Amino acid sequence: MTEIEIQNYSKSTVKNKKAILLQFARWLWESFQMELEDATTRHIKRWIKHLLDEGIKANTIKTKLKTLNNFYKFCIKEKILKDNPLDDIELLKEEKVMIKPFSIDDIQKIIVFYCGSNYMDVRNKTILTCLCETGIRSAELSNIMLTDVFDDALLIRGKGNKQRLMPVSLHLKRQLNKYRRIREKYLKGEECPFLFFCTRNKGGGLKKDVSSIGRMGHDAVLNVVKSSGKAWGVDVKFLVHSCRSYAQISLGHTDLYTVSRLLAHNQLATTKDIFINGR
């Protein structure tokens, strides 16, 4: 775990890798009273069969096997083990997951759902506008600092702390300016370095305590999209990721490479394959 932490993986990635290793170790012990270092290719195949029987999808199993493979490679490099039990394991055929993006009509409905002038409505409308117009991930939105907002761009911190500048449209710029004005009034002199934040209740009361503020988490961002989508009967199965339909809309007048860079995809194939024709 120390090794992958110093490789600058995100906290969520480290947490997920640890969970996969613990899951396999637990299954190995419960099934064969065996430690990780004693696992063979036969045991790995039995685990794959167990996961398939549990209804786990091939893509998820593939991710688990990659994590396990990297773990055993590390053990060999550190001279803890001599052989990798996954060397003779063929990865499962990956299921192609095609994400149905929101249509332009869907996006318009979702955004106008928050039409009030109070802080929460203005904040949520700004979040949705930002997601739909830039195509950034929910984690990237949560990490935007006040100092990352420029006149015509946003500084986005992506996976692995990679940074990129995301152009801001005139419409989004106006919405951001409106939000920052009401944000300042709402904070009443309190400070928060993050552009978007949540207020937490103290003592279980109904009144929000402005002095208890923090960065918006992934679930909070999802709830903003989910609430508006459900109200309009919009399919929100893929939630924030469907907001990245921005990529498909942009393909009408922007080259594939530019869209790929804006969305921070490592490969052009990701940009090309993940979106199908909109409704």
DSSP assignment of 77-142 equals: HTTS-S--TTTTPPPPPPPP--B-PPPHHHHHHHHHT---SSHHHHHHHHHHHHHHHH---HHHHH
Among 137, 133, 166, which residue's Cα sits nearest to residue 270? 137
Say whether both 110 and 60 belong to one domain.
Answer: no
Cross-strand pairs, 110: none
Q: Is residue 43 part of a domain?
A: yes
3-state secondary structure of 204: coil
Say whether both 63 and 110 belong to one domain.
Answer: no
**0.85 cut: is pTM over it?**
no
Q: Is residue 82 part of a domain?
A: no
Say whether both 62 and 108 belong to one domain.
Answer: no
Say whether both 210 and 130 belong to one domain.
Answer: yes
Residue 255 sits in a domain whose CATH number is 1.10.443.10
Q: Is residue 46 part of a domain?
A: yes
Give kind and range of the element (H or E) at residue 224.
helix 218-231
Say whether both 121 and 67 belong to one domain.
Answer: no
215, 143 Cβ separation under 8 angstroms: yes
Q: Is residue 182 part of a domain?
A: yes
* Angle in degrees, CA 162, 164, 168, rounded to 5: 150
> d(Cα 30, Cα 95) in Å, to the nearest integer?
30
Question: What integer pLDDT is reported at residue 123 of this predicted model?
Answer: 95
Among 123, 165, 122, 161, which residue's Cα sits nearest to residue 139? 161
Q: Is residue 279 part of a domain?
A: no
3-state secondary structure of 180: helix
> d(Cα 9, Cα 67) in Å, to the nearest integer?
13
Q: How far is CA 89 from the centre of its chain?
A: 29
Question: What integer pLDDT is reported at residue 47 of this predicted model?
Answer: 96
Buried b (16+ CB within 10 A) or exposed e, 110-125: bbebbeeeebeebbbb
Say whether both 131 and 49 belong to one domain.
Answer: no
Q: How many contiguous H segments (helices) and E segments (strands) does the chain have?
A: 13, 4
Say whether both 19 and 135 belong to one domain.
Answer: no
Q: What is the dihedral of CA 236, 139, 253, 226, to 10 degrees?
A: 20
Q: Is residue 93 part of a domain?
A: no
Question: What integer pLDDT is reported at residue 243 of this predicted model?
Answer: 60
pLDDT tens per residue across all 279 residues of the chain: 998 888 877 788 899 999 999 999 999 999 999 999 999 999 999 999 999 999 998 888 999 999 999 999 999 999 999 999 999 888 766 666 555 566 677 777 777 888 899 999 999 999 988 888 887 888 889 999 999 999 889 999 877 678 888 888 888 899 999 999 999 999 988 889 999 998 765 444 444 454 467 888 888 888 888 888 777 776 655 455 556 554 445 545 445 445 455 455 455 454 455 444 333
Say whether both 140 and 213 belong to one domain.
Answer: yes
Total domains, the chain: 2
Q: Is residue 97 part of a domain?
A: no
Q: Is residue 84 part of a domain?
A: no
> d(Cα 148, Cα 154) in Å, to the nearest integer?
6
Say whether both 69 and 125 belong to one domain.
Answer: no
Give 279: exposed, middle or buried? Use CB within 10 Å, 0-12, 13-18, 19+: exposed
> d(Cα 1, Cα 13) in Å, to the nearest integer?
11
Handedness of CA 80, 83, 86, 87 (dihedral sign): positive
Range of the domain at 18: 2-77
Distances (CA, A) of 271 to 209, 216, 247: 42, 27, 8
The amino acid sitting at 170 is L
Say whether both 73 and 185 belong to one domain.
Answer: no
- Mutual orientation of helices 58-77 and 11-32 as an angle, nearest 10°? 90
Say whether both 266 and 145 belong to one domain.
Answer: yes
Say whether both 122 and 235 belong to one domain.
Answer: yes
